[in-house]
Amino acid sequence: MNTPEDVSGVSEEQSMQLVTAIKDYQLTHGNLIKWVQSEGVTRVPSVGVGVSALPTPFPRSLFDEAWQLQASMNELYVRIASDEDWLYGVLKPLFDHDDFLAALWDVHVTVKTAGVAQDIVCGIFRSDYMLHQPSTRESVSLKQVEVNTLCVAGACHAERVAGMHRHLQRKRDVRKPAEEQGAERLPVNDNIEQLVITLCKAHDAYTASPFVQRCVLMIVQAHNFNVADERPIEYGLWDSGIPCYRCEWQEVLQRTTLTASRKLLYRVNEAGVQAELEVSVVYYRAGYTADEYTEHEGRETRLRLELSCAIKCPDVLTHLTTFKAVQQALTEEGAVERFLSADDAHRVRATFMPIVKVDKVAEGQLFREIATDPRQASHFVLKPNLEGGGNNVYGTKIPDFLASIPDEQWSKYILMRLIVPPGDTSGVLMMMEELYEGPVISELGVLGSVVWKKEEGSEVEVVRNVAAGWTFKTKPSHVDEMNVVKGYGCFDCPKLAA
Amino acid sequence: MNTPEDVSGVSEEQSMQLVTAIKDYQLTHGNLIKWVQSEGVTRVPSVGVGVSALPTPFPRSLFDEAWQLQASMNELYVRIASDEDWLYGVLKPLFDHDDFLAALWDVHVTVKTAGVAQDIVCGIFRSDYMLHQPSTRESVSLKQVEVNTLCVAGACHAERVAGMHRHLQRKRDVRKPAEEQGAERLPVNDNIEQLVITLCKAHDAYTASPFVQRCVLMIVQAHNFNVADERPIEYGLWDSGIPCYRCEWQEVLQRTTLTASRKLLYRVNEAGVQAELEVSVVYYRAGYTADEYTEHEGRETRLRLELSCAIKCPDVLTHLTTFKAVQQALTEEGAVERFLSADDAHRVRATFMPIVKVDKVAEGQLFREIATDPRQASHFVLKPNLEGGGNNVYGTKIPDFLASIPDEQWSKYILMRLIVPPGDTSGVLMMMEELYEGPVISELGVLGSVVWKKEEGSEVEVVRNVAAGWTFKTKPSHVDEMNVVKGYGCFDCPKLAA
């Protein structure tokens, strides 16, 4: 059993001391969820986000592999976002059944028709992986769960939890000689600084009118319980001398103006200051759910932002790469190879699980087979084409679910072969109501930071392309979903081992 | 009216935006109170501590005066704590009526009899001031409310709130030219680092056995809702490479051992580590209330810590200087002059308000007069001799209160002439349930950091003596008490003005 070494023989008293130390660390470091439903005028309660009580073992070589893959992963998605034809080919079949996707594509077409006002694009991506070992005879490998190319969340919480585990580790190491100390097994995390640097680079790349004050505009959802994962980036930008304002998605139309030269102006209306600033970077932390794209205001909101010459993080074409249909299309022969060198393509492809979709004849056949046979279905997860998660259907539940919806809706889903994590990893998790100790499954996310310039055709000049940090989440093995802020799973820190 | 300049003409929408920004800043910076009564195994809710929404004006010259006074104030209390005869003379008359005081003195006597094992003492003090202007014809001066010489709280919250106001200020200044920006009117606050440095200095001054791991032991109260004011100091010590452990007052006897050579050993019993460390510094954040000194365990707890050769922050004699009887005695002729140079004594004495006590014949007469005449009483506050606050009786309520207790209890109190703050300062405060805007009164605390060595007789060698930071609290003028964590008043930041 691959166990966090320090848990064995922990007494009740010791574990209470540990969880108290953790709760206090979370409280003093803003590793918290805001109880927006209990918000008063002057006070709002908050509570710790789910975290592991001990770091969970993870193979160092595979952590390093994921990290080293990120530059290729970044490049892959940048190139997809620049290859309109390929992307159109992948997404077009879905437009009839997916209003959201169609609306986003419309935004792209409208912007293109108007002429692209900004050729620089910024991306903060995250590629998620799990460990895969279908049988004990095989070695453990890294398999990709999904790629997120907008509204990437969890970076701030991940940094706090990494800091917390480093603190707890140095306490455990207090009497150990240097060579036995565990801190170096916990990878450093400076996500917040890295994301701030990314936005700074984009901000600096924006050519403003002379003497005009620029700002980064963070587009956020109203009443967000997860502000602790957004605010630190805002503070970091101010610390770097760059004004950053939060603008709620619903207020964009009212608070911004698109000038004739397509500059985006933001009207600050805060106590003590009324001013109009030129937006250098639109940083999306909203606009990723279908229900934000209401017929008029919602679509107009995205359109205004995209039409502007502000640098988007990311633009709508890059947003469109985050759909599962793209992930599926990349599994097809030659797809990755279209965008990357043979070597890079090979390394990236090695992390893919097979994905089946309904709308090709042969695969449609296979999809139908799997969809109606619980035995076959047990090896798959059914994922909605839309980015996000939280609406997956697992294994044997798939046939009943697909039977419950009209056949023409099937194309909104892909079937991905389930990753089979090693069954021998144990962890200690502070779940919502209880301390869980038992078998666990972890998910490693590697953050990517990219700034690129679109050129003729589908060419790009990549100005910046680095791995910018990591997130790590762990859940009890018997729980299907991994969504920490909603109570499934916990933020965690890998304990790297040979 | 002395108004935070930015509040005028603030719309409802703007003030909501401001309080939201503040609530989120508090949440992400641990400027919070823990709801210990709702604590679960894995989660504990917390809520923001009371803070001002805008920094409150304060005269720069008086802020500077208080800062510059601190070295003298530190020296005064160090010298009192070293002058056992003088202190005995002041406190002895109270022993019969005050078990707590008598118990503390007993601890001192027992330690003295055993022989002092450690001649180095550490102090973290705080001298509190209010502005005084009895009539508009007189200029505003600085008057001392009290001095705290142990368990000084509020330093961490003060730093967070100062940081918050700097952040909000730079947002207000976004379009202002450098010379009009307000940030330099908000004094810098690095309380936490300064307190950590203080404890590091003490730690370094402790001579440990060779090859033995030392630690700072923070003695804390159980179930403290105000951990956010303690934990950052612990983290700061670890960051400085010094192990720091929290030990609850009730667990000291069980978790520590006093060796034959009077070393204090602390048994760490946490997940993953069982070890015994030598305590270099005992840092008290508990042991300041009478009810902690239970007949056997409570007194034995303090005695064990004081008998040890750990450096105490502070030792029991220094603790004894924090009582109001000492503050009163210092107002008597020649008292301050006994300890400080004429110049320093003059400057310190200028901040004193008249204090009347019951146990001297002439003053006893005066005490009785005031105590029975509401008109005279209206100019006084009745304070229990014990450190702390929260049990003061104000003005016209004094006669009825004194009539309700036996005469022999009167000696537990002093009568201090009320400081009369200027009536023209207005502020905006986020009280428990509502946003208050109106006349306010502020209290400035200056932190002192001292390390000294006791020498022959009442001589001392002061190794370190600096002003180490500040706290600033503001309350609506109509509220008598100032106790932020209990919901009276708010942490604030002075906006320094000529």
Torsion of CA A221, A222, A227, A233, to 10 degrees: 50
> What is the average pLDDT across B223-243?
97
Tell me the per-residue pLDDT of B324-340, one tens digit each, with 9 for 90 and over.
Answer: 999 999 999 999 999 99
A378 Cβ contact list (under 8 Å, min separation 6): A395, A396
Nearest to A452 by CA among A34, A37, A79: A79
State the best of B16, B24, B185, B218 to mutate against chain A, taking most chain A CBs within 10 Å: B24
A39 and B25 in contact by Cβ < 8 A?
A: no
Neighbouring-strand partners of residue B383: B414
- Write down the mean pLDDT value for chain B: 92
Contact B252, B263 (CB under 8 A): no
Nearest CA in chain B to A247: B17
Closest CA to B386 of B288, B484, B482: B288
Judged by a CB distance cut-off of 8 A, whether residue B39 touches chain A is: yes
Q: What pLDDT shows up at residue A150? A: 95
Of A480, A471, A463, A467, which is closest to residue A67 (Cα–Cα)? A467
Radius of gyration for chain A, computed over Cα atoms and rounded to the nearest angstrom: 23
The closest CB to that of B46, out of A46, A235, A270, belongs to A46
β pairing state of A460-476 and A435-454: antiparallel
User: In chain B, positions 426-445, which contact chain A (CB-CB < 8 Å)?
Assistant: 430-435
CA distance B56 to chain A (A): 15
Q: Do A46 and B29 touch (CB under 8 A)?
A: no
Strand, coil or helix: A250: helix
Q: Is B165 on the interface with A (CB under 8 A)?
A: no
Residue B12: which pLDDT band, with cuts at 50, 70 and 90?
A: confident
pLDDT band at B3 (very low <50, low <70, confident <90, very high): low
Q: Which of B43, B217, B247, B285 has the most A C-beta neighbours within 10 Å, making it the best mutation to test the interface with A?
A: B43
CA B37 to CA A446: how far, in whole Å? 39
CB-facing half-sphere around the CA of A325: CA atoms within 13 A: 25
pLDDT of residue A51: 97
pLDDT at residue A29, rounded to an integer:
98
What is the pLDDT confidence band of residue B116, given thresholds at 50, 70 and 90? confident
pLDDT in tens, B15-29: 889 999 999 999 999
Which pTM was predicted? 0.96
A423/B contact by beta carbon, under 8 A = no
Q: Which residue from A262, A17, A290, A284 is spatially nearest to A119, judged by alpha carbons?
A: A262
Chain B CB within 8 Å of residue A188 CB: no
List the single best residue of A27, A212, A234 to mutate versus B (max B Cβ within 10 A).
A27
The interface predicted TM-score (ipTM) is 0.96
Q: Is the pLDDT of residue B4 over 70?
A: no
Whole-angstrom Cα distance, residue B345 to residue B245? 39
Report pLDDT for A482: 77
pLDDT band at B239 (very low <50, low <70, confident <90, very high): very high
| Residues of chain A contacting residue B170, judged by C-beta atoms under 8 Å apart | 238
Dist. CA B75–CA B344, nearest whole Å = 10
In which region does residue B274 sit, left (phi positive, over 0), alpha (psi from -120 to 50) or beta (all else)?
beta
Q: In chain A, whose CA is at the least distance from the CA of B4? A: A272
User: Mind telling me how many Å the CA of A169 is from chain B's nearest CA?
Assistant: 9
Q: What pLDDT was estimated at residue A9? A: 58
Which strand (E) or helix (H) includes residue A276?
A: strand A273-285
Q: Is residue B387 over pLDDT 60?
A: no
| Averaged pLDDT, groups of 10, chain A, 498 residues long | 57 87 98 96 96 97 98 98 96 89 96 95 98 94 96 97 97 87 92 98 90 94 97 98 97 97 93 88 96 94 98 98 94 96 98 85 76 90 76 91 87 91 93 91 98 91 97 93 82 94
Cβ contacts below 8 Å, chain A against chain B, sum to: 185
Predicted confidence at residue A357, as pLDDT, reads: 81
Report in angstroms the alpha-carbon separations of A416 from A136, A144, A223, A357, A391. 22, 11, 33, 9, 14
Angle at the Cα of A480 (from A378 to A57), degrees rounded to 5? 110
Phi, psi of B242 (to 5 degrees): -110, 115
Taking residues B258-267, what's their average pLDDT? 96
Is it true that the peptide bond before A314 is cis, omega within 30 degrees of 0?
A: yes
Residue B361: the pLDDT is: 58
| A476: region left, alpha or beta (phi > 0 left; psi from -120 to 50 alpha) | beta
> Residue A10: its chain B contacts at CB < 8 A?
271-272
* Residue (of B302, B293, B310, B307) closest to B253 by Cα position: B302
Can you tell me the mean pLDDT for B297-311?
97
Architecture in CATH for domain A355-418: 2-Layer Sandwich (3.30)
In this predicted structure, the answer to whether residue B279 has a pLDDT above a threshold of 90 is yes
Q: Distance, in angstroms, between A17 CA and closest chain B CA?
A: 7
Which CATH code for domain B354-418? 3.30.1490.50
Report CB contact under 8 Å: A432, B42.
yes
Classify the C-alpha dihedral A200-A157-B23-B425 as positive or negative.
Answer: negative
Nearest residue of chain B to residue A38 (CA atoms): B47
Q: Which three-class secondary structure state does DSSP give residue A322?
A: coil
User: Looking at residue B390, what is its pLDDT?
Assistant: 66
**B277 and A174 in contact by Cβ < 8 A?**
yes
Q: What is the pLDDT of residue A367?
A: 83
Which pLDDT value is given to residue B368?
Answer: 85
Domain boundary assignment for chain A: 9-353+438-497, 355-418
